[in-house]
Chain A
């Protein structure tokens, strides 16, 4: 059983929702990145979505655009992201890690090389926001041959016919996009989200993780009532951005601990 499957199975037994923070590699600094990722993991992240910095992230709002650009200008590329995971694994980190990045970063690296190097480094899968299920086949074939998972998306706009096709290809978990729009903090979660997740639950046994707009512990608590994972990106980046350099790790760790606590009060998912 893969790290991702084990993690969701364990949490399901415990009646907990997975906390899935997103952080770009090399943000806010290259030197502090490894230690910050480890802090995030040790503070309660159940799976880490490591961002591969891309300067033109079409599905991201201003917060992640800025962080991603900062990491690019810090000189971070896909190769350094893979090296980062290798280092973390060498030092004993067992938290599941998926790389979140845009198609073109992966294409430029070469999909076969990517799959080989990612597997060897201890990466568990990929989240590629500009790779819809209709385009994914060549990628999935290469990833699957190495036991790497490609995480598929469901959006509020996904039709029933497409939902069936996505579910059929799904592996690891499904990334459920909470709202139409790009990533970024929001005041409240949409009222339809609960129904959207319940509807998806009818057609799949895969864990369902919700992302986009989850900004605070109330949101995480709400999502934990009906979903299996809560993905938090922009809100974490904003915590980091608002911290003095010397207190970034402490503040990020505290934020993750608070969010993780909010996942524990969940009712047992169906």
Chain B
């Protein structure tokens, strides 16, 4: 059935929205392969975003761990500092071609919000961003950037005041303003066609990386690793490798304070089937189907559902899903700064942390590709405070 990955996906939304989703799907299918649309996107990605982003080998860490070779795909080097811009620009161009003048978006870490505000500024569209009040507090620099870029920012005070609540408010806005508004969803979640569309617009990550590593090493990597919240950077990375049976794909979720503590954001490891924000997928819920609170130091991973394609890839076994806790992510954050001169986002630090654990168990000639989905400037104050707390606690022990 259309819009499903196996049993996952669908469009469980209010009747009012169906016309917009059908219109979006129809227009996307019509426009996506048109020469001038593809050309416009690829020009923007090259001349505005700065693509292709490079891959960087981690020489010092590799030497120190004495294990496999690690490459990072440097999405942190895109304009605005995270992979989110790939999808934001492409969807904004699509929306403009559809005659929409107003964009609404949600944001968690603020990276998607900044990317959307940037795209709207570039294309001359009205931009409205919903952000959970808690996230706004822990990602203050991005709040300022969005405002500076001309976005109208609405803080969301309902629920847990994080990403899920911001998505709900953005959807409510869209239901109300169906005529002139496009909802620019930033993750590979939500109702059909968003999971497909976001994957397609992010696939440039994996396509470039696959070519680059072939050129650098003459072969495909043994492992490809990416962090998974809703799952847009990971699906964008994995998509190019899905048919390469010898390449192991690993999705890293946020274990927060530990999977057993209940304070985590790992629906693909601890979740059950349910419908969240328009699609059927693995989600964190109680026995009554109420969505559970999530915990992660990385706001971009702090979400109770996974994109429906990830649920499918979990069941088929094509991708292995695992998790990394707050502490491990923070250590990787610091390690990458100290030893490789790269400041990663806390979200991406989860993927790096898993790679660091993995390589010491791999033979020397193994090859690991990690998607560094964003840069960590936004996380500085929170990460530094958390690292100090961590070190003080460990001194006491």
- A residues sitting closer than 8 Å to B (CB atoms) are 54-56, 58-59, 61, 65, 72, 77-78, 102-109, 129-135, 152-159, 162, 166, 177, 180-182
Say yes or no: is B258 at the interface (Cβ < 8 Å to chain A).
no
Is chain B's interface secondary structure helix, strand, loop, or mixed overall?
Answer: mixed
- Cα distance A135–B12 in the bound complex, in angstroms: 7
Q: B261 in the interface, Cβ–Cβ < 8 Å?
A: no
Nearest-neighbor residue (CB-CB) of B165 within chain A: A56
Name A157's contact: one of B10, B178, B273, B278 (CB within 8 Å).
B178
Contacts of A156 in B (CB 8 A): 16
Closest to B286 in A: A108
CB under 8 Å from chain A, chain B span 6-22: 10-20, 22
Q: List 24 interface pairs A-B (beta carbons < 8 Å), by A numbering.
A: A54-B289, A54-B290, A58-B14, A58-B168, A58-B171, A58-B278, A61-B172, A65-B158, A78-B288, A105-B288, A107-B273, A107-B289, A108-B285, A130-B13, A130-B278, A132-B13, A135-B11, A153-B15, A157-B178, A158-B15, A180-B16, A180-B178, A181-B176, A182-B172
Min CB distance B323 to A, Å, is 24
Residue B287 CB within 8 A of the other chain: yes
Spell out B's residues near A (CB within 8 Å): 10-20, 22, 158-159, 164, 168, 171-172, 175-179, 273-278, 285, 287-291
Which one of A59, A78, A155, A180 has the greatest number of beta carbons of chain B within 10 Å? A180
User: Which residue in chain A gives the minimum CB-CB distance to B12?
Assistant: A130
Which residues of chain B come closer than 8 Å to A54, judged between CB atoms? 289-290
A223 to B17, CA, bound (A): 24
User: Cα distance A252–B179 when bound, in Å?
Assistant: 37
* Interface contact B290-A180, CB-CB below 8 Å: no
Q: CA separation between A144 and B255, bound complex, in Å?
A: 43
Complex contact A107–B15 (CB within 8 A): no
Given A55-B290, A78-B288, A108-B287, A155-B164 contact (CB < 8 Å): no
Report the bound CA distance from A121 to B177 in whole Å. Answer: 40
Q: Is the CB of A58 within 8 A of B18?
A: no
Most buried by B among A55, A129, A155, A157: A157
Q: Which residues of B contact A129 (CB under 8 A)?
A: 14-15
Q: Are B290 and A134 in contact (CB under 8 A)?
A: no
